Structure 1
C-alpha cells in the first residue's frame, strides 16, 4: 500500500508547470478550448480504437514535454480505479443478444463487454488529456481563461478557492496521519478494522477542520471587501493570430476524429 504522503503529493497540480516547452508557453485559453474539444470528441466516439490511440499519444506527449511517466501513471490510479469499477458493473449488468460466457450464473454479453471497454477507454483518454492540461497550465492562468470565456464569476472564484484549499487540507491531512502513526495508530499489531476506524477518525477531523477554516476564510474575505464582482484573477493578454489558427485546427481535428470514428463503424 502506498504511503499517504505520497498519495497527497500527487495532488500537487502545479509541480511540473515550471518547464518552458512550446506547450507550456501556449495561451491557456487555446489549451482550455483544445482540451474541452478533444474531451467532447472522445466521449462522442462509439468505437474504442481512436480513444485508445489518443491515450497512447498523451503518454508520448507527456514524456516529450518533460513529465515523468511514473508521475503520469500515478495520477491515473484513482481514475483507473473508477473506470475498472464502471467496466465491471457494465459487464455484468448490460444485456444483449449474444452471450459470451456465464460467470456464477450471471450472463456476460458481447454488447456489455463492448460497451464496458468503450466507457473504460473514454474515461482514461479524457483524464489523460486533462492531466496534460493541468501539468502545463498554472491555476491562475486557467482561472483567467475561464473568466475570458464568460464562465460565471462565482464558479471561477469557487474553483480557485477549492484548488487552493485542496493543497492546504491535503498537507494538514498528512500531518494528522503522521501524528497518528507516531501514536501507533497504524501499527502492524492492529487489525484491519482498527486501522480503518482510525482512517475514519482522521477523515472526520479533517472534514470538521475544513468547515471551520472555510468559514473563517469567508469572513476574512468579506471583511476585506469581497463581492461577487470582485476581480481575483489577472487580465488575459491578447491572443495572437498563430494561436487562433492553432485553436481552430484543434477544434476542426476533433470534429474530423468523430467523423472518422463514425466512418470506421460503417466499414
Structure 2
C-alpha cells in the first residue's frame, strides 16, 4: 500500500464526511484558479497545508516530499515564462535583467516576473487542495460521492479499475526489480539500461495477464457493469459546515478587499 493511500485511511480526519472535505477542497481550488490572485493563492496554500499537517496529522516531512514531486515541472514552466530571448535588440522591452549569449539577447521583464510568481502560487495552492483531499479521504469514499452526484457509472468504474492497477504496476515492478538487482542486473550503466528495458517489456506482459485474470474473477462473481462497494457510515457536522462557510467567506472577502495587491 502506498503511504498516500495509508494516510487516507489512517489520518485524524478519516471520520469526517467526505462531502465536507470535497466541498472545502474544491471551492478553494476553483476559486484560486478562477481569480488567479497571488494573495488568495498564498492564503489557500497556508490554510490547506495547515489542515493537512496540523489537522489531519500528516507528517510534515512526507507532505514536503509530496510537494517536491511536481516541483520540477513547476520550475521548468516558470523558467519558460520568466526568461525570454530575441536576436533583434529593437524588440527588447524594458527589462529587469539582460545578457547576451551566442548572438541572442536573453532578458527578464517585470511582466514575466509577475506572471511566473502568479503561476507559482496558483499551482502551489491547487496542489495543496488536492493533497488535502487525497491524504484525508479514501478513494472509495470519493467514488461514493461521485455516485451521489450522478457521475456516469462507466467513468467511475474506469477510475476505480485504474486506481487498482496502480498498485498492480507497483507490486509487479518492485518484485521484478528486486529479482534483477539480486542478479546484479544494475551493476553497470550498460547493464542498468538493458535490465530496465527488460523490466518495462515484461511489466506490460504481466499487467495484461493480471487484467485478464481480473476480468475472469469479476465475471465469475456475476459482474453487471457496476462495482458495488460497502459505504462507511458518516454523519454531517454543523461545526464543520460552519467552518467551511467561514473560510469561504473570508477568502472571498480577502480577494475583494486586497485582490491584486501582490500581483502588481
TM-score, normalization: structure 1?
A: 0.79
SS at match of 1:102: strand
Instruction: Provide the C-alpha distance between the structure 2 equivalents of 1:73 and 1:129, rounded to a whole number of angstroms.
Output: 14
Q: Is the CA contact (8 Å cut-off) linking 2:11 and 2:136 kept in structure 1?
A: no
Q: Is the CA contact (8 Å cut-off) linking 2:85 and 2:107 kept in structure 1?
A: no
Instruction: Provide the C-alpha distance between the structure 2 equivalents of 1:220 and 1:31, rounded to a whole number of angstroms.
Output: 34
Give the stretch that moved more between structures: 210-219 or 141-150: 210-219
Instruction: Provide the C-alpha distance between the structure 1 equivalents of 2:221 and 2:10, rounded to a whole number of angstroms.
Output: 35
After superposition, residues 142-153 of structure 1 pair within 5 angstroms as 142-153=142-153
After superposition, residues 81-230 of structure 1 pair within 5 angstroms as 81-93=72-84, 97-103=93-99, 104=101, 105=104, 106-187=106-187, 190-191=188-189, 194-230=191-227
Report the Cα offset of residue 253 of structure 1: 4.4
CA RMSD of aligned residues (A): 3.1
After superposition, residues 22-33 of structure 1 pair within 5 angstroms as 23-33=13-23
* Structure 1 residue 50 corresponds to structure 2 residue 40: yes
Report the Cα offset of residue 72 of structure 1: 0.4
Instruction: Provide the C-alpha distance between the structure 2 equivalents of 1:240 and 1:42, rounded to a whole number of angstroms.
Output: 25
Listed as ranges, the gaps of 5+ residues in structure 1 are 1-8
Task: Find the structure with the greater CA-based Rg.
Answer: 2
SS at match of 1:264: coil
Report the Cα offset of residue 94 of structure 1: 9.4
- Give the 3 Å change call, closer, same or farther, for CA 132–138 of structure 1 in structure 2: same
Aligned residue for 1:4?
none
Q: Is the CA contact (8 Å cut-off) linking 2:38 and 2:121 kept in structure 1?
A: yes
Q: Is the CA contact (8 Å cut-off) linking 1:144 and 1:236 kept in structure 2?
A: no
SS at match of 1:24: coil
Report the Cα offset of residue 258 of structure 1: 4.4
- Give the 3 Å change call, closer, same or farther, for CA 231–260 of structure 1 in structure 2: farther
- Give the 3 Å change call, closer, same or farther, for CA 16–262 of structure 1 in structure 2: same
Instruction: Provide the C-alpha distance between the structure 2 equivalents of 1:196 and 1:43, rounded to a whole number of angstroms.
Output: 41
Report the Cα offset of residue 242 of structure 1: 4.7
Instruction: Provide the C-alpha distance between the structure 1 equivalents of 2:8 and 2:138, rounded to a whole number of angstroms.
Output: 6
Q: Is the CA contact (8 Å cut-off) linking 2:39 and 2:262 kept in structure 1?
A: no
Instruction: Provide the C-alpha distance between the structure 2 equivalents of 1:256 and 1:154, rounded to a whole number of angstroms.
Output: 40
Report the Cα offset of residue 60 of structure 1: 3.0
- Give the 3 Å change call, closer, same or farther, for CA 178–55 of structure 1 in structure 2: same
Instruction: Provide the C-alpha distance between the structure 2 equivalents of 1:157 and 1:87, rounded to a whole number of angstroms.
Output: 36
Q: Is the CA contact (8 Å cut-off) linking 1:94 and 1:109 kept in structure 2?
A: no
Instruction: Provide the C-alpha distance between the structure 2 equivalents of 1:215 and 1:254, rounded to a whole number of angstroms.
Output: 49
Report the Cα offset of residue 49 of structure 1: 3.0
Aligned residue for 2:24?
34
